[in-house]
Amino acid sequence: MRYSALSLVRQGLAGQTGWPQAWRSPSPRSVYDAVIVGGGGHGLATAYYLAKNHPRRRIAVLEKGWLGGGNTGRNTTIVRSNYFFPESAAIYDFALRLYEGLSQDLDYNIMLSQRGILMMGHSEHDMELMTRSVNAMLLNGIDVELLDAAQVRAEVPLLNFEPGARYEIHGGFTQRRGGIARHDAVAWGYARAASALGVDIIQGCEVTGFDIVDGRVAGVRTGLGRIAAGSVGLCAAGHSGVLAGMAGFTLPIQSYALQAMVSEPVKPVLDTVVMSAATGMYVSQSDKGELVFGAGLDLYPSYAQRGNLPVERDVIAGMLEMFPAFRRLKLLRAWAGLVDVCWDYSPIIGPAPVGGMYLNCGWGTGGFKAIPAGGWMLAHLLATGRHHPISAPFDLGRFTSGRLIDEAAGAGIAH
Ligand code: FAD
Ligand code: PYC
């Protein structure tokens, strides 16, 4: 929808009360063709692509809280596709390509900023491993470039290049198509577009159980009553294991808190995303001017959606070693999300052990960048009952066949 400058002024003078609702908020029907559990980015993208690519279905998204109130609204918004294995490169680059056209597709500005990501190498050993990773990524068709120390310095002059710096910089690599996007806008854009295609988006609706008849799902039980559905998609991130438990199976997943922080806003000082596996730190600057930075996983599994001080302290120490100029900034706020981590740090997409039920989970610390692809793949499964070729390697069956996709090292900073 487009607004004239005059209509924006009128809205301002009228107290912003006249905007149309971005998505409908209907009461749930008693029956749908497909129910999607979880109104984060993956659930909403699934609903949108199901309605758009496979029309004529009655679809509902059930969210126990509010849209994007889980990890989608808590993440640090980095998008990139620099993964080690061809299977991962295929899915994450498919997502990045969809992101590149998403504002137009949804008619909603997701504020994609392809400012590049820069991964630091702090030793000769780091650089040897990086050379190997970069070669693998180039073979996967990903736009990465190895950089020496002088090139890194030209890109980010604020980094600490002093002799004797604790984290010496020997070089790094960049993916220039990587960057950040506005997380809320991704959720809201998908919600608005899905609602316009007839999807019922129901907030405040917790799924508390499943009706399963002869090994097939027949519906869901919710705080708002029973809803019948022959197809159910699970997109519940840190609570995937809980939902699997309700359906009578287990997943090779553990849930952890992952935390992040922002500083007070300052003028533009950093025009790319800097990541450092050795310090366990990454940082970018938001459009508001805040430095958005974060950490690795908390050390123990938990369902508590809050971080702890030791991780915060370590990540701030790492950042200040690398960016001494940030020392005098004040910390504005810190928070955590509950992420679902698989044994091989790759997601699970595919049929669940219950007929008619499909999984999109295990994105762990890195699923924001994957939202368009995760949604596309789950929509394909819900519509056809079969894998899209890109999602096939991520089937749950890999944990029994042994064909794991171990991205622990290649997946980035937060593992
Ligand atoms: P969520 O957004 O968590 O949505 C799941 C939804 O399911 C929630 O809204 C929840 O309320 C709902 N739900 C759960 N149980 C039920 C139930 N029983 N009934 C109904 N609804 C239910 N990824 C990146 O790619 N780049 C990053 O820079 C990045 N940074 C991160 C930083 C932090 C601090 C965190 C926490 C995560 C980060 N991630 C990042 C990971 C990314 O946020 C997640 O992988 C991604 O958002 C998962 O999306 P989702 O839709 O699967 O999950
Ligand atoms: O996936 O790029 C990522 C990421 C960075 C921080 C958390 N996840």
Expressed in angstroms and rounded, the spacing between residue 108 Cα and the centre of ligand 1 is: 21
Write the secondary structure of the chain as one string of H (helix), E (strand) and C (coil): CCCCHHHHHHHHHCCCCCCCCCCCCCCCCCEEEEEEECCCHHHHHHHHHHHHHCCCCCEEEECCCCCCCCHHHCCCCEECCCCCCHHHHHHHHHHHHHHHCHHHHHCCCCCCECCCEEEEECCHHHHHHHHHHHHHHHHCCCCEEEEEHHHHHHHCCCCCCCCCCCCCCCEEEEECCCEECCHHHHHHHHHHHHHHCCCEEECCCCEEEEEEECCEEEEEEECCEEEEEEEEEECCHHHHHHHHHHHCCCCCEEEEEEEEEEECCCCCCCCCEEEECCCCEEEEECCCCCEEEEEEECCCCCCCCCCCHHHHHHHHHHHHHHCHHHCCCCEEEEEEEEEEEECCCCCEEEECCCECEEEEECECCCCCCCHHHHHHHHHHHHHHCCCCCCCHHHCCCHHHHCCCCCCCCCCCCCC
pLDDT at 414: 56
Question: Quick check: 145 pLDDT over 60?
Answer: yes
Do residues 152 and 214 touch, judged by C-beta distance below 8 A?
Answer: no
The Å distance, Cα 412 to ligand 2 centre, comes to 6
Q: With a cut of 60, say whether residue 411 has pLDDT above it.
A: no
Residue nearest (by alpha carbon) to ligand 1 atom 31: 75
81 lines ligand 2 (CB under 6 A): no
Residues linked to residue 172 through DSSP beta bridges, in sequence order: 120, 147
- Per the CB < 8 A criterion, the answer to whether 394 and 405 are in contact is yes
- Kindly tell me if the per-residue pLDDT of 169 is higher than 70: yes
Percent of the chain with pLDDT over 70: 98
CATH no. of 117-177+255-341: 3.30.9.10
Average pLDDT of the residues of the chain: 95
Mean pLDDT of 10-31: 91
Closest approach atom of ligand 1 to CA 206: 19
With a 6 A CB cut-off, is 39 part of the ligand 1 pocket? yes
User: What is the pLDDT, as a whole number, of residue 19?
Assistant: 84
Q: Of 255, 173, 245, which Cα lies nearest the Cα of 210?
A: 245
Q: Would you state the pLDDT for residue 412?
A: 61
Retrieve residue 399's tokens.
């944990």
Ligand in closest contact with the CA of 180: 1
- The ligand that comes nearest to the alpha carbon of residue 74 is 1
Two tokens, residue 14: 């009228």
- Ligand 2 contacts CB of residue 259 (under 6 A): no
Q: What kind of fold does domain 22-81+83-108+182-252+344-411 have according to CATH?
A: FAD/NAD(P)-binding domain (3.50.50)
Does residue 363 line the site of ligand 2, with CB under 6 A? no
CA gap 1, 21 in Å, rounded: 12
**For ligand 1, is residue 74 a contact (CB within 6 Å)?**
yes
Does residue 365's CB lie within 6 angstroms of at least one atom of ligand 2? yes
Distance CA 186, CA 112 (A): 10
Tell whether the model's pLDDT for residue 142 goes beyond 70.
yes
The rounded radius of gyration (Å) of the Cα atoms in the chain is 22
**Who contacts 106 (Cβ-Cβ below 8 Å, separation ≥6)?**
48, 189, 190, 192, 193
* Strands 59-62 and 200-202, bridge-based pairing: parallel
**Cβ(72) – ligand 1 distance below 6 Å:** yes
| Distance, C-alpha 332 to centroid of its chain | 23
What is the model's pLDDT at position 410?
66
With the C-alpha atoms ordered 318, 324, 325, 331, is the resulting torsion angle positive or negative? positive
- The angle subtended at Cα 239 by Cα 361 and Cα 188, nearest 5°, is 70
**Which tens digit of pLDDT belongs to each residue from 97-135?**
999 999 999 999 999 999 999 999 999 999 999 999 999
pLDDT (mean) for 290-300: 94
The residue among 46, 106, 103 whose CA lies nearest residue 72 is 46
Distance from C-alpha of 380 to C-alpha of 360, rounded to nearest angstrom: 12
| pLDDT value at 256 more than 80 | yes
Reported pTM? 0.97
- The model's pLDDT over 338-366, given as tens digits with 9 standing for 90+, comes to 999 999 999 999 999 999 999 999 999 99
pLDDT score of 385 = 98
- Ligand 1, closest atom to CA 367? 45
Domain boundaries, the chain: 22-81+83-108+182-252+344-411, 117-177+255-341
Cα–Cα distance for residue pair 372/411, rounded to 1 Å:
18
Q: d(Cα 27, Cα 44) in Å, to the nearest integer?
A: 17
Q: Does 413 have pLDDT greater than 80?
A: no
Exposure string of 219-256, with b = 16+ CB inside 10 Å and e = fewer, is: bbebeeeebebebbbbbbbbbbbebbebbeeebbbbbb
pLDDT confidence band for 299 (50 / 70 / 90)? confident
In one letter, which amino acid is 413?
A: I
- Cβ of 410 less than 6 Å from ligand 2: no
